[in-house]
Amino acid sequence: MESLTVASQSAASATAEWLACKKAKPKDVDTVPGVQAALTRSRDVIKAVTSAREALDQALADPEVDSIAVELASVLIILAEQLGKHRARGSISAAAMARTFKKRVLECTEQLSALTDQLDRAAAKPAPARPATGDAPLANDRAADSEPDGPAVPPPDLLCSICCDVMADPVLLVDSGQTYCRLCIEEWIRHAKIPTDPKTRQRVQLPLRIVTNYAMRGAVDALPAGERRKRETAAAMAAARAAADAAANALPTHPGPAGGSHWEVEEVQALLDDASVPVVDLGGLEVKWRASETVTINYKTLSVGRALLVRRPGVVLRNGILRGAGGVAPEPHEGVVTLFVGEGAKGFLMDEVVVREGAGDGVYVAGAQGVSIRRCWMEGNGTARLANNGHGLVVRDGAEVRMEAGCARGNGRGVLVLGGGSRLHAAGVESSRNVGHGIYVRDGARLSVEGGESVGNGGDGLWCFNRAVASCRNLEAGGNDGSGVFAQYLSKVTLEGGGCRDNGASGAVAMNEGTMLTVVDVACVLNGAYGLDASDYAKVTVKGVDLSGNKKGELRTSTDAFVGKS
């Protein structure tokens, strides 16, 4: 246990260094070198913990040791990001920089202190007895040998009901007794008109009263390493979003457009690439595109300009209009796009921006994590009518996006979420009057919806295809030419509250073996075909569903489909 004790002492030493940084005066920007020293010291800590874990792997069968290393690594990632941001912001006032820095140091000090306590507890635990040579293996050893190679499915109790993923930093909401991810519940309350618990709808007091749920945290820590890595990523994304929020409230630090009345694309691109400009404020003005090249895409010849590219982390784009053709998307992506958000743009925030009348996709997010889109409109994009192009918003290549109080209207398709690892969290979003589907989720992508509507579209309100996963609360999917919700090919869709009303086809459809559709307290009424339609071995579970007023009947199910009531 000596190596683990040394790791614990190293963590305590690093915590002491952070406490010294915390006491720095607000105007003392020279604390940044102190951060560098503490960061170096903290790297020594993680090395010590890793060494201890390896040395005790045979003697200490305790998942807590591994979880400590993962959590401490997460803290170091956040600290490194913060350090880089402060170095890049030489143009921001020293006082404001130091205040933000000091607040972050305090938060990280608390995290390191908690990690030190965990290390102490792990070091104090005796090693479990191991069977002597020739003894029969323990039951746990036999169970471990027989475990399947595939990833374990986390218990439902460990999933946050807001983001539908394993809880990251689980906290108990005192007023209701429910547990959520810290970031999820804080953002939920911050954007709610009336502060209520997401699950119970019980009103909660402000300021928000939350406490760490150590029992839940311990249960999450005991999950396999893959799930713990998800928690590590979630913690880093929380830090990126917090940094973006702070930047969004900052005053612009750049001059206005040279022309005075509008922005040129080149001017905005230069600001997006400038590391000394955290906030690109368009001042309510329009960005105008000029055709600069002729390209042929899908046998169509187009005159386009250039796409706006976001390639650096933590930048904010706000308060303006992007109107016009856009440009060719960067390779290996195809098609035309107005605003392209690349993998390096972690924590990008777009606030109160209208993206209108582009030839192809409006906003295209490829691989970027922690992206926030707030109060933005994507309208009338896809004017070139290119195949597989012309969405209001595209989320793909493992990107993670949160869209709040926005609109995708009158595009070729409203929203596309594509590919395993890609996630869209939509709260209060409208997707309407699009030529095709309102929301299209496919190929292992995940969608979570809280409120909002997908209405009046030329296709389905929500189409989930090929292992898509969607969890929707209070979604209104109505007035679409197709169905309200359509799930097929191993997709898993949950609808809770809201309605699938007045659609041209059925209210909700599940098709193909392995597809699962759960419908709870939803009004599937007044549709042109059936309230619910299940076929080809799909499984549908219903509870409290209104199926009245549909032209062809309440429910259609083939003999090979399963429909159950819970």
Residue 460 contacts residue 487 (beta carbons within 8 Å): no
Q: Is residue 39 part of a domain?
A: no
Contacts of 34 (CB under 8 A, 6+ apart): 17, 20, 21, 24
Residue 206, domain member (yes or no): yes
Of 172, 197, 215, which residue sits at a domain end? 215
79, part of any domain: no
Answer yes or no: is 472 within a domain: yes
Q: Which residue has the higher pLDDT, 331 or 17?
A: 331
* Token duo for residue 211: 């406490």
Domain count, the chain: 2
Of the residues 175, 195, 215, which one is the last residue of a structural domain? 215
User: What is the distance, to the nearest Å, from the Cα of residue 67 to the centroid of all Cα atoms in its chain?
Assistant: 22
Predicted TM-score (pTM) of the model is 0.59
- The predicted-structure confidence for 473-491, as pLDDT tens digits, reads as follows 999 999 999 999 999 999 9
Residue with structure tokens 């810290």?
Answer: 182
411 inside domain:
no
pLDDT at position 30 over 50? no
Residue 520 included in any domain: yes
Which DSSP letter does residue 151 get? P
Peptide bond into 224 cis (omega under 30): no
Q: For residue 123, is pLDDT > 80?
A: no
The two structure tokens encoding residue 334: 């195809």
At 182 the pLDDT is: 86
Domain boundary among 196, 215, 234: 215
Mean pLDDT of 520-546: 94
Give whole-number Cα distances, 412 to 259, 295, 299, 393, 556, in Å.
33, 20, 18, 10, 31
Indicate the pLDDT class of residue 68, thresholds 50, 70 and 90. low
Query: Which is it for the CA torsion 173, 178, 184, 187, positive or negative?
Result: negative
pLDDT single digits (tens) 206-237: 778 888 888 888 888 777 765 555 565 556 55
Would 135 be classed as within a structural domain?
A: no
pLDDT value, residue 174: 85
pLDDT digits (tens, 9 = 90+) for 437-471: 999 999 999 999 999 999 999 999 999 999 999 99
Owning domain of residue 536: 436-566
Q: Residue 145's pLDDT is what?
A: 39
- In sequence order, the β-bridge partners of residue 128 are none
In this structure, the strands spanning 300-304 and 293-297 are antiparallel
The sign one gets for the Cα dihedral 382, 388, 392, 396 is negative
18: closest CA among 160, 115, 93, 84? 115
Q: Are 128 and 24 in contact (CB under 8 A)?
A: no
- CATH code of the domain covering residue 181: 3.30.40.10
pLDDT at 215: 80
Nearest by Cα to 519 from 543, 487, 537, 483: 543
In a domain, 544, yes or no: yes
